[in-house]
Amino acid sequence: MAWLTAAAVPSSALGREADRSPHPRNGDHLDRPSDFSTSQRKKSKRQGCTRQEASHEIKWAKGQGGRNKAENEPKRLRPRQAELQEPSAKIPPLNDPPIVLISYSHKDEALKKELITHFSPLKRKGLLACWHDCEIGAGFDWKQEIDAWLEDATLIVLLISCDFIASDYCYEIEMRRALERHEAGECRVIPIFLRACDWKGAPFGSLQGLPHDAIPVVSRHWASRDDAWLQVVRGIRTAIKNWRAAAIPPCP
C-alpha cells in the first residue's frame, strides 16, 4: 500500500514527526546531534537559539567571568614598588605640620604661654602644630594622652628650669622617653632654657639648646624677654626646616 494510516504508524515515529519544526531556525536541523532529546530541543527553540549557540554562549560567559575576575583582583606590586609606596613610620606626611610637644613644669605655666604666643607666626603659616597637657579634654586619661602624644610628636621641647628637673614625671618619664625617640631618630629634642639652674651633667646636656649659649630666657642679658623668645622661635623654625629636608628622600 502506497500510504499508511495513522494507526499503522508507530507512536514513537509520530512523536518525532510532531517535534520537528516545519521551518528550522538558523539551521537547527543541521547542528543538532543525534542524542539531543525532544525536551532539550523544545527548550532550545523556546530560548531562540540552538544547542551549539548555547554552548558557545556558556563558554564565552565563563571566559568573560574569568577576565572580569582577573580585572577585579588587586594588582600585586613588586616588593621594591610596595616598599617605596609604604610611608615611613618615623616621618610624618610632609603635607601635615609637624607636632611640637611642650614638656614643662606647671610652675612655669606663665613662660609656657609666652612661648606659645611667640609660636603664633609659625602656626599661622602651617609650619607647626603645638601640643601640651592643657589640651587634654575632660574625661580623658591624662597619662595615656601624654604617652600617646609623646609617641607622635616630631619635635619635643623641654622647658628647662629647676622645677622641671625637680619634677619626677617631667624628668624621669617625659624627658627619658623623648631622649629614647631622639636617639632612635624618630623625633628631635630641643632644650629651651627658661631660668638659671644647674643642669650640667643632665641627660639632655649634650643637646644644642635655645637660646644660644644656654642663656636663660629670664636673664638680664636680654634687653627684653621678647628678644630671647625671638631667638628661640628662629631656632625652632630652622630645626623644622632641617627635619623636613632630612625627611625628603634624595632623587635617584
User: What is the residue type of 15?
Assistant: G
- Count CB-CB contacts under 10 A for residue 31: 15
Record the cell numbers describing residue 162, joined without a space.
Answer: 629647676
Beta bridge partners of 192: 159, 210
Distance CA 99, CA 175 (A): 16
Q: What per-residue confidence (pLDDT) applies to 222?
A: 95
Q: What domains can be seen in the chain, in order of their start residue?
A: 11-72 (no CATH), 99-247 (3.40.50.10140)
Q: Above 50 in pLDDT, residue 14?
A: no
Summarised one tens digit per residue, pLDDT across range 151-180 is 999 999 999 999 999 999 999 999 999 999
109-114 average pLDDT score: 96
Q: What per-residue confidence (pLDDT) applies to 244?
A: 80
Summarised one tens digit per residue, pLDDT across range 182-227 is 999 999 999 999 999 999 999 999 999 999 999 999 999 999 999 9
- Count CB-CB contacts under 10 A for residue 122: 19
Record the cell numbers describing residue 197, joined without a space.
Answer: 639652674
DSSP 174: I
Q: Give the β-pairing of 188-193 and 99-103.
A: unpaired
Nearest CA to 151 out of 128, 119, 184 is that of 184
Distance CA 93, CA 96 (A): 6
Treating both helix axes as pointing N-terminal to C-terminal, what angle do 225-247 and 109-118 enclose, rounded to 10 degrees? 60
Summarised one tens digit per residue, pLDDT across range 114-165 is 999 999 999 999 999 999 999 898 899 999 999 999 999 999 999 999 999 9
User: What is the chain's Cα-based Rg?
Assistant: 41
